[in-house]
C-alpha cells in the first residue's frame, strides 16, 4: 500500500494541473464533448481499454491486473453548472456562465491520478479496475442510468465513490450506511385564475393570492401530515407571474423540489401535494396543471462496504477523523449504481483550515482544498487494492 501512496504523492502536482485545466473549461450536463475526450485520451495513453460515448457521453476505462480476480468500479462525474464564477483565481472559468461549482473537476482529476498510479503497479494487481467517468450528474435523468444500461457495470463486483465536500474540514471522512442522500424530485405547477383590474378584485380570480396560499398550505404537509420521525423537504423555488403592478394576474407558474428518503413518504408527498393544490384552487374556482417528476432515488449505502471504507480509511495518510454523518437532503445519481451492485458513497472533507466558513456547493465563489483530492485518491486506491486482495 505504501507503494501506491508514494505513487499518488508523486502524481499530486499533475492531479492539480488536471483539475485546474478542467476548471477553466467547464461543460454543462448533456453538453460534454471536450471533457470526455480529454478523459478518454488520458486512459488511452496509459494503455487501458477505453469505451467512449457510454450512455451517450460517458467514458469507461478498464485496467486489467496482472493476475485474475474480482472487479472493482470507481466512479467520478465531470459535468459543471450554469453559474458565472466570481472567484479571483488564476484558473478561473474561461467559459461565460459556466463553472465547476460542485467539485466534479476535482473528482475527475482524483480518478485520473489514481488510474495512473494503479497502472504503474498493474502487474501486482489481482483483478480489474473499472474507471467510470460519468456525464450529467447535475441534471435528471442524469448520466448514471444510461451508462448502466449501456453496460458500465457489467462484470463489476463492487463500486466505490466519493464526493469532495467543502463544508467539512480537510482530513475528515464522512460515512453512513443505509440512506445517506435523499430522493430528489421536481414539482411543476400552473395555477389558472381570471385576470382583472387591480381595483376590482371581485371581478377576478387572483392567481397570485391563490398561489401564495397554496405555498403556505403545502408546508402543512411537512408539519402535520408526514410522520415526525421521518423526513421530507418541500421547497418552492420558482414563483412567476409576469404582470403589470395594477393588474390581477390570471396565471402563476410555480416550481420546486421534494426531498425524501422512504418510498412511502415520497408517494405521500406526490399525492397529497396535489390534493392541497386541488382544494386551494377549488375553493375559489381556479384550475391548475400539476406535474410531479421523480428524479434520483435515495442513495442507500451497503452496510458491509461502508464498514470496509470506515475501517481502512483510518490508516490513510491525511485522514484524521472518520465520522458517521447524518443523512443529507441533497441528491445524487450514484444511487443507481448502488441499486445494481454492492458499494458505498462517502464524503471527503475539503475545507481549507484557514477558512472560517466555506462557500457552499453551487455557489459563485465555491472552491475546495485541492489536497482533498490526494486523500480521496489514497482512500479509493486502498479500498480497491484491499478489496481485491481480500476477495481473491
Backbone angles phi, psi at 40, to 5 degrees: -60, -45
The closest of 29, 28, 31, 52 to 40, measured between CA atoms, is 52
Task: Tell me where in the chain the CATH 3.30.70.360 domain(s) lie.
Answer: 183-296
DSSP state of 258: E
**pTM exceeds 0.85 for this model:** yes
How far, in whole angstroms, is CA 107 from its chain's centroid? 11
Q: Which CATH architecture has domain 183-296?
A: 2-Layer Sandwich (3.30)
Distance CA 64, CA 48 (A): 8
Backbone angles phi, psi at 189, to 5 degrees: -135, 140
Opening angle at CA 135, ends 132 and 136, nearest 5:
140
Strands 196-197, 247-248: parallel, antiparallel or unpaired by DSSP? Answer: antiparallel
Residues of the chain with CATH 3.40.630.10: 2-180+298-390
SS3 156: coil
Question: How do the pLDDT tens digits run along the chain, 392 residues long?
Answer: 999 999 999 999 999 999 999 999 999 999 999 999 999 999 999 999 999 999 999 999 999 999 999 999 999 999 999 999 999 999 999 999 999 999 999 999 999 999 999 999 999 999 999 999 999 999 999 999 999 999 999 999 999 999 999 999 999 999 999 999 999 999 999 999 999 999 999 999 999 999 999 999 999 999 999 999 999 999 999 999 999 999 999 999 999 999 999 999 999 999 999 999 999 999 999 999 999 999 999 999 999 999 999 999 999 999 999 999 999 999 999 999 999 999 999 999 999 999 998 999 999 999 999 999 999 999 999 999 999 999 98
Protein fold of 2-180+298-390: Aminopeptidase (3.40.630)
CA–CA distance, 378 with 312 (Å, rounded to integer): 10
- Give the active site residues: 79, 137
Residues 6+ away with beta carbon under 8 Å from 138: 28, 29, 79, 80, 81, 102
Amino acid at each position: 500500500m505504501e507503494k501506491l501512496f508514494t505513487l499518488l504523492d508523486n502524481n499530486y502536482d499533475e492531479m492539480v494541473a488536471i483539475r485546474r485545466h478542467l476548471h477553466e473549461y467547464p461543460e454543462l450536463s448533456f453538453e460534454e464533448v471536450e471533457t470526455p475526450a480529454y478523459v478518454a485520451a488520458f486512459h488511452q495513453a496509459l494503455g487501458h481499454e477505453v469505451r467512449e460515448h457510454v450512455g451517450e457521453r460517458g467514458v469507461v476505462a478498464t485496467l486489467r491486473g496482472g493476475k485474475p480476480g474480482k472487479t472493482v468500479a470507481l466512479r467520478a462525474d465531470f459535468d459543471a453548472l450554469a453559474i458565472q464564477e466570481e472567484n479571483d483565481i488564476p484558473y478561473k472559468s474561461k467559459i461565460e456562465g459556466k463553472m465547476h461549482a460542485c467539485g466534479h473537476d476535482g473528482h475527475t482529476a482524483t480518478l485520473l491520478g489514481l488510474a495512473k498510479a494503479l497502472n504503474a503497479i498493474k502487474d501486482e494487481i489481482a483483478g480489474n479496475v473499472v474507471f467510470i467517468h460519468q456525464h450529467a450528474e447535475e441534471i435528471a435523468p442524469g448520466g448514471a442510468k444510461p451508462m448502466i444500461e449501456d453496460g458500465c457495470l457489467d462484470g463489476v463486483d463492487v463500486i466505490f465513490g466519493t464526493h469532495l465536500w467543502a463544508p467539512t474540514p480537510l482530513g475528515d471522512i464522512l460515512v453512513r450506511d443505509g440512506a445517506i442522500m435523499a430522493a430528489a424530485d421536481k414539482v411543476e405547477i400552473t395555477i389558472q385564475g381570471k385576470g382583472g383590474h387591480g381595483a376590482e378584485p371581485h371581478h377576478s380570480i387572483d392567481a397570485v393570492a391563490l398561489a401564495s396560499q397554496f405555498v403556505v398550505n403545502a408546508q402543512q404537509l411537512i408539519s402535520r401530515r408526514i410522520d415526525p420521525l421521518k423526513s421530507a423537504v418541500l421547497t418552492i423555488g420558482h414563483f412567476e407571474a409576469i404582470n403589470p403592478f395594477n393588474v390581477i394576474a390570471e396565471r402563476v407558474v410555480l416550481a420546486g423540489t421534494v426531498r425524501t428518503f422512504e418510498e412511502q413518504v415520497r408517494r405521500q408527498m406526490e399525492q397529497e401535494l396535489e390534493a392541497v393544490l386541488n382544494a386551494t384552487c377549488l375553493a375559489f374556482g381556479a384550475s391548475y396543471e400539476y406535474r410531479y417528476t421523480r428524479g434520483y432515488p435515495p442513495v442507500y449505502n451497503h452496510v458491509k462496504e461502508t464498514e470496509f471504507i470506515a475501517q481502512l480509511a483510518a490508516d490513510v495518510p491525511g485522514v484524521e477523523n472518520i465520522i458517521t454523518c447524518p443523512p443529507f437532503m441533497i441528491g445524487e445519481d450514484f444511487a443507481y449504481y448502488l441499486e445494481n451492485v454492492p458499494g458505498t458513497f462517502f464524503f471527503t472533507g475539503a475545507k481549507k483550515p484557514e477558512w472560517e466558513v466555506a462557500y457552499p456547493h453551487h455557489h459563485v465563489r465555491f472552491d475546495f482544498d485541492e489536497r482533498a483530492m490526494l486523500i480521496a485518491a489514497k482512500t479509493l486506491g486502498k479500498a480497491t487494492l484491499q478489496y481485491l486482495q481480500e476477495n481473491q
